[in-house]
């Protein structure tokens, strides 16, 4: 099994730790001592060789990837010339893999996802590999822990498919858009719905066949790029073709109407840390409900804090329910319940041309 | 008139801006662009020549004083070998002045007091000089604006003394200790009580006569120090005598039982910035009740803040009633109503031997 890790996003919801020059996947968001992309690779240790791991990212991040993953062959960094949504990015990864090993199986993962139960995760990945060998296009379905309205959902059919391996594999009934609250509550109660976190495992040829059937123009472009790989023209071909590719998501472009779709439930403490308050779901609290992610803190009568410090001591006196993040050049102090308004900070920095702080 | 400015204090209540190595009098606490000691001297501009101004401070702060007051003659920095309360410090200043000009008048002021109405302040100082010429030991009585329980009070007698000058000068009825709340409310209502902020104006000989009468041993020590001034032994004599002097406050040691005491009301927006929330009394608020003292801030739906920033942007999102202070090496985030608990921060830094942060 090959792994292709999507690492091209520029998350601003974890500002000021996640920045355009240093997006969250290259940061140690949870204070583990490893960046998110390093942890993503660590998680595959002993299961997938580093030379079989590919990273899809923007040109600006190529050197960061090589710096943070010193064992990675430089040729395994696949550069997207620009962000054109997930279908072209995944198609590009498949074109590369197909060039190397037409019979390979590819696991498409993300560089900024947290998994708490790594053993459970690895078991699911291995089950997904078995399903891929049986020519299923397998998606990991995150067992929902709340009626979240920020994710798309996957509905499974009733009974597990007859398949090898120990874990249940279900046929996918349908991919569903982000629901409203009441609908999400129904999904959660039913037990037949999963969050779609965009993790797919399949034979490379299986994915490319779906591109060919559903997105023929995109497929043609990918084949042109694929044919140029290993030639002196490859970069020039990529740059020329890339800008012509339709920017469409893999869900809309491929998954919603793909054939032989299977879902394997993943119940392993998955989290994509979409905002600072999500750290409450992945990190332990002290007895006063504080999460002290990193840095030196001194707390006096303070509760419910999330503190991601930097090099300087942060003294907190008589405060509650704050998010505090010190990135060295910027400092965020926000109320936990209003932390989504961080978007406005980023917008105003952009409008004020404080690009150094974006 | 000579001026002696007491600048030996080490305020920790404005931590982390005020530090042992850089107490508040050497910091720009209100974001004016000038430190408190510079502002104290600026306030006397054109009224007292810089060569007639003396600074009493600790040995560690001598170079800071000379750096911040470049026009000050180096000989005008009077070093206290150690902190021994206000009576020895004031006595030492008087010994120096007496050595230079036995007939001089001395105004004893503080390096860390804020005055908003400088014209009113200067008029009161000039009136105090007139009273000193008439041999009164004059104290500035801060007209109280609240029933404060943190200051000693001065009670005046009923009618102004017959004296030259335009402003009223009253005889002092008594010096009073810090009152309880109900007593302070009575003081405020009566209109005959003032806060004692420790600012005294008198003939140097008048003050020394009170030392001689009330603190004869201290007086003898001061005279020995005074006699050595200008000789090669002066520093050695000071160090030897100083450690024998009784550490007592000028109020207890001298003022409470002094003769010919007068008080001149000072209603000029006086403030000693005893804690961060005191900035509300001296600095303007924006329409949302925020005081942005210095540094770059970006506020989203935030109210009632006091922010004293440093070199980095501080983004505040959905927060209220916080004090935020960034000193570069430390960061304070406290609730305005609980900011007195900053004492515990300082105690714990001391206990943890984080002397670099004190």
B17-61 pLDDT, tens digit per residue, is: 999 989 999 999 999 999 999 999 999 999 999 999 999 999 999
Has residue A324 got a pLDDT over 80?
Answer: yes
Percent above pLDDT 70 for chain A:
100
Confidence (pLDDT) at B12:
85
Which of A18, A312, A324, A332 has the most B C-beta neighbours within 10 Å, making it the best mutation to test the interface with B?
A312
CB B108 within 8 A of CB B199: yes
Has residue A85 got a pLDDT over 90?
Answer: yes
Q: List CB contacts of A172: < 8 A, sequence separation 6 or more.
A: A139, A154, A155, A156, A157, A261, A262, A263
In this predicted model, what pLDDT tens digit does every residue of B275-314 receive, in sequence order? 999 999 999 999 999 999 999 999 999 999 999 999 999 9
Q: How many CB atoms lie within 10 A of CB B198?
A: 21
Could you tell me how far CA A330 lies from the centroid of its own chain? 26
CA dihedral B113, B118, B124, B129 (to 10 degrees): 80
DSSP annotation string for B139-190? EEEEPPSS--SSS-EEEEEEEE---SSSS--EEEEEEEPPP-HHHHHHHHHH
Once rounded to an integer, what is the mean pLDDT over residues A107-125?
Answer: 97
In this predicted model, what pLDDT tens digit does every residue of B232-243 receive, in sequence order? 999 999 999 999
Has residue A224 got a pLDDT over 90?
Answer: yes
Report residue B162's pLDDT band, with 50, 70 and 90 as the boundaries: confident
Has residue B163 got a pLDDT over 80?
Answer: no
Point out the residue among A298, A317, A333 whose CB comes nearest to the CB of B314: A333
Confidence (pLDDT) at B355:
87
**Average per-residue pLDDT for chain A:** 96
A327 min Cα distance to partner chain B (Å): 9
Once rounded to an integer, what is the mean pLDDT over residues A317-335?
Answer: 97
Percent above pLDDT 70 for chain B:
100
Confidence (pLDDT) at B158:
85
Put simply, the answer to whether A319 touches B317 (Cβ < 8 Å) is no
* CATH of span A2-266: 3.90.550.10
* Measured distance CA(A72)–CA(B78) in Å, rounded: 66
Put simply, the answer to whether B317 touches A333 (Cβ < 8 Å) is yes
Has residue B125 got a pLDDT over 80?
Answer: yes
A18 min Cα distance to partner chain B (Å): 15
Confidence (pLDDT) at A26:
97
Which residue spans within chain B are E strands per DSSP?
2-6, 53-58, 77-80, 105-110, 114-115, 137-142, 153-160, 170-176, 193-203, 261-266, 270-271, 291-294, 297-300, 306-308, 313-317, 322-326, 330-335
In this predicted model, what pLDDT tens digit does every residue of A38-75 receive, in sequence order? 999 999 999 999 999 999 999 999 999 999 999 999 99
Once rounded to an integer, what is the mean pLDDT over residues A334-349?
Answer: 96
Put simply, the answer to whether A333 touches B339 (Cβ < 8 Å) is no
Put simply, the answer to whether A348 touches B298 (Cβ < 8 Å) is yes
Higher pLDDT, A10 or B109: B109
Point out the residue among B298, B337, B344 whose CB comes nearest to the CB of A300: B344
- Domain positions in chain B are 2-271, 276-357
Domain B2-271 CATH superfamily = Spore Coat Polysaccharide Biosynthesis Protein SpsA; Chain A (3.90.550.10)
Put simply, the answer to whether A335 touches B319 (Cβ < 8 Å) is yes
Point out the residue among B301, B328, B345 whose CB comes nearest to the CB of A298: B345
Has residue A353 got a pLDDT over 90?
Answer: no
Report residue B11's pLDDT band, with 50, 70 and 90 as the boundaries: confident
In this predicted model, what pLDDT tens digit does every residue of A134-181 receive, in sequence order? 999 999 999 999 999 999 999 999 889 987 889 999 999 999 999 999
Put simply, the answer to whether B338 touches A301 (Cβ < 8 Å) is yes
Confidence (pLDDT) at A162:
85
Once rounded to an integer, what is the mean pLDDT over residues B263-270?
Answer: 97
CB B249 within 8 A of CB B200: no
């Amino acid at each position: 099994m090959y792994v292709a890790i999507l690492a091209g996003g520029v998350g601003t919801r974890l500002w000021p730790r996640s920045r355009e020059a240093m997006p969250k996947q290259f940061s140690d968001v949870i204070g583990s001592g490893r960046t998110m992309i390093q942890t993503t690779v660590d998680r595959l240790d002993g299961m997938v060789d580093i030379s079989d791991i590919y990273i899809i990212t923007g040109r600006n991040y190529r050197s960061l990837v090589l710096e943070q993953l010193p064992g990675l062959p430089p040729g395994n960094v696949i550069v997207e010339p620009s962000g054109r949504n997930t279908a072209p990015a995944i198609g590009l990864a498949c074109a590369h893999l197909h060039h190397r090993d037409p019979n390979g199986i590819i696991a498409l993962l993300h560089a900024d996802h947290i998994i708490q139960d790594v053993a459970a995760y690895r078991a699911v990945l291995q089950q997904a590999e078995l399903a891929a060998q049986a020519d299923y296009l397998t998606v990991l379905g995150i067992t929902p822990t709340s009626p979240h309205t920020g994710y798309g959902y996957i509905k499974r059919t009733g009974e597990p498919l007859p398949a090898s391996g120990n874990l249940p594999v279900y046929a996918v009934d349908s991919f569903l858009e982000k629901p409203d609250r009441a609908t999400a509550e129904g999904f959660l109660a039913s037990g037949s719905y999963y969050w779609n976190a965009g993790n797919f495992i399949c034979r490379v040829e299986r994915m490319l066949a779906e591109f060919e059937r559903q997105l023929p123009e995109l497929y043609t472009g990918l084949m042109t790029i694929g044919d140029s790989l290993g030639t002196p023209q490859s970069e020039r071909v990529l740059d020329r073709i890339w800008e012509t590719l339709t920017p469409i998501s893999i869900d809309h472009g491929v998954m919603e109407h793909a054939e032989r779709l299977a879902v394997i439930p993943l119940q392993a403490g998955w989290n994509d840390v979409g905002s600072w308050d999500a750290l409450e779901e992945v990190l332990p609290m002290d007895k006063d409900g504080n999460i002290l992610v990193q840095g030196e803190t001194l707390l006096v009568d303070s509760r419910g804090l999330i503190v991601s410090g930097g090099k300087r001591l942060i003294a907190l006196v008589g405060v509650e329910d704050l998010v505090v993040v010190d990135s060295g050049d910027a400092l965020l102090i926000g109320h936990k319940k209003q932390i989504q308004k961080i978007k406005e900070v980023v917008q105003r920095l952009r409008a004020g041309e404080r690009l150094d702080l974006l």
